[in-house]
Amino acid sequence: MNRKLLTMLLIFLTLTLAVSAQEKIDYQMIQRIRQEGLQNSKVMELMSYLCDIYGPRLAASQQFRDAGKWAVGKLTEFGLEKAAMESWGTLGRGWELKKFYAAMTSPQYMPLIAYPKAWTPGLEGILKGNVVLMDIKTEADLDAFKGKLKGAIVLSRGEQPVALAMEADGKRYSDGDLKNIQLAQDGGGRNFDPAQREAMRLQREMQTKIAKFLKDEGAAVVLEPSRGTDGTVFVQGGGSYRKNSEMPLPSVVVSVEQYNRMVRIAQKNVPVTMEMEIQANFVDTDSLGYNIIAEIPGTDKKLKDEVVMLGGHFDTWHAGTGGTDNSAGTAVALEAVRILKALNIKPRRTIRIALWDAEEEGLIGSRGYVKNHFFDAEKKEIKPEYNKLAAYFNYDNGSGKIRGIYAQGNISIVPIFEEWLKPFNDLGAATVTLRNTGSTDHASFDAAGLPGFQFIQDPLEYMARTHHSNMDVYDHASKADLTQSATIMAAFVYNAAMRDEKLPRKYFDPNAVQQRRPRF
């Protein structure tokens, strides 16, 4: 071992031992949190309301607002104060799917597993029409379809490969996986060479040209194959939530196996016909977006104005009921504050829950909240509340149990979190990594130099089966995992609320911040 590495290890070990000696943990309270969270959990009851009664919750929809009122009522019932739907700013127009039906009617009848994309228009009455296969490779290929698409239902691509499923959808992190997560990243992230970037640019241009061609030619509906298999349909948005944006054609995503069948029939020059009904409404009555906020007030005279936050995003996509994305995170946050109120804690700092709006459109609700309360990146303006935030803890990667936490490059916080996790090592939570993770609402805080953190969660079926799909439902959420997660969330929030000092922050230069839209 070289001298430099040895020196670094000794420094880190010294820091760890020093923090361990300083970190005051009320183990009796942690025991009570474990007992209430693990033995008296209400997390699945909350999940059922969120999924079965108030799901889905597309941003700006009436379903979102109805669910928000329920959440405000539930937080008030738990005993939290100042529960309200707080507007973060203007979002745009909502979209609601009222009715949908689609079937192939010839050469045989086949009801389709399919879903319209969000923010695409409906149809007038029931559409009965011919299916036209378009597998466009170059702009010149469009010429063959001029004058032939009026009222047509268009298959937008050719046959898609479907691989046999040889492995289970669900998985948990092994010890080796967690070791790899703990190691520093090899840098770079998603870097594309110039040729890849150019190919992506040309592909986007071609998609734009095809969409314009279809609309100009009077096509009725565009069908796309899902990337899922076995009847799972992954579907997001096909239009814009922004007011006065151009109206696209109705767009429907079809299960890949059924889509491929229609392609193969059309390739044999056998006529394919379909019937379809889409009743979809745009909602313009309220263009504001809303986060759901509530508090447990702090009691320490010196610290009560400081705030510890927890949460997850409240909005979902529309094909399922948002079970793992993100009723799971909402239920975990709600259950965590229920646990703390059930124990009648008297936190030194104020504890604030936030259920975020429009995460799926680019972390918009949490970014608006950070802008309004903490830091306006556009103006480079630090708000008075900026120095009052002790921490924000987020849950949004499915319903998998907590295995640890991402420290977002904050070296000084690693030994603190390691101490906090020790009472939960027996529940599988022990890993603290310096790595950053993105695309969840903690990134809105981290981008402003605030201590925002996302937990490491077992992946389960998240990316394989439920993320933005029709299978994102209550039945694919893990009760045991959510129970464990809510308990650990409650303990982290409690520890942060009771510390003598706020959690240490990374260096932050507000003048160096660039306003960027998060990548999804």
Query: Of 249, 265, 283, which residue sits at a domain end?
Result: 283
Has residue 190 got a pLDDT over 60? no
pLDDT band at 519, cuts 50/70/90?
A: very low
Has residue 189 got a pLDDT over 60? no
Has residue 518 got a pLDDT over 80? no
- Domains in the chain, number: 2
- Do 342 and 229 fall into the same domain? no
State pLDDT tens for residues 463-490: 999 999 999 999 999 999 999 999 999 9
- Do 165 and 45 fall into the same domain? no
Query: Of 221, 256, 283, which residue sits at a domain end?
Result: 283
Query: Of 261, 283, 305, which residue sits at a domain end?
Result: 283
- Do 499 and 442 fall into the same domain? yes
Residue 260, classed as helix, strand or coil, is helix
- Dihedral, 455, 461, 463, 466 alpha carbons, nearest 10: -110
Residue 442, classed as helix, strand or coil, is helix
Has residue 11 got a pLDDT over 70? no
Round to whole Å and give the CA distance between 146 and 399.
48
The DSSP result for 85-117, as a single string, is EEEEEE---EEEEEEEEEEEEESS-EE--EEEP
Q: Would residue 194 count as lying in a domain?
A: no
- Do 230 and 333 fall into the same domain? no
State pLDDT tens for residues 145-188: 999 999 999 999 999 999 998 999 999 999 999 999 999 776 54
Residue 204 CB contacts under 8 Å (≥ 6 apart), including other chains = none
Which phi and psi (to 5°) does residue 72 adopt?
Answer: -60, -45
Q: Looking at residues 410-422, what average pLDDT do you find?
A: 97
* Total residue length of the chain: 520
Residue range of the domain that includes 303 = 23-92+285-512
pLDDT of res. 520: 37
In angstroms, the Cα distances linking 4 to 9, 10, 19, 145, 484 are: 9, 10, 23, 68, 40
pLDDT of res. 14: 54
pLDDT of res. 516: 52
- Do 440 and 424 fall into the same domain? yes
State pLDDT tens for residues 193-220: 788 888 888 888 998 999 999 999 999 9
Q: Looking at residues 441-468, what average pLDDT do you find?
A: 97
Q: What is the CATH number of the domain that holds 356?
A: 3.40.630.10
Residue 279, classed as helix, strand or coil, is strand
Round to whole Å and give the CA distance between 458 and 301.
40
Amino acid in the structure at residue 217: E
Residue pair 510/382 in contact (Cβ under 8 Å)? The answer is yes
Q: Would residue 313 count as lying in a domain?
A: yes
State pLDDT tens for residues 18-37: 555 579 999 999 999 999 99
pLDDT of res. 186: 63
Q: Would residue 46 count as lying in a domain?
A: yes
Residue 314, classed as helix, strand or coil, is coil
Q: Would residue 41 count as lying in a domain?
A: yes
- Do 262 and 400 fall into the same domain? no
pLDDT of res. 353: 99
- Do 87 and 233 fall into the same domain? no
**pTM to 2 decimal places:** 0.93
Q: Would residue 54 count as lying in a domain?
A: yes
State pLDDT tens for residues 261-312: 999 999 999 999 999 999 999 988 889 999 999 999 999 999 999 999 999 9
Sequence-ordered alpha helix ranges (H) in 364-499: 364-373, 414-421, 442-446, 479-498
- Do 87 and 123 fall into the same domain? no
- Mean pLDDT, the chain, integer: 93
- Do 445 and 371 fall into the same domain? yes
pLDDT of res. 4: 53
- Do 220 and 333 fall into the same domain? no
Q: Would residue 245 count as lying in a domain?
A: yes
State pLDDT tens for residues 357-403: 999 999 999 999 999 999 999 999 999 999 999 999 999 999 999 99
Round to whole Å and give the CA distance between 366 and 86.
11
Q: What is the CATH number of the domain that holds 171?
A: 3.50.30.30
Q: Would residue 227 count as lying in a domain?
A: yes
Has residue 244 got a pLDDT over 90? no
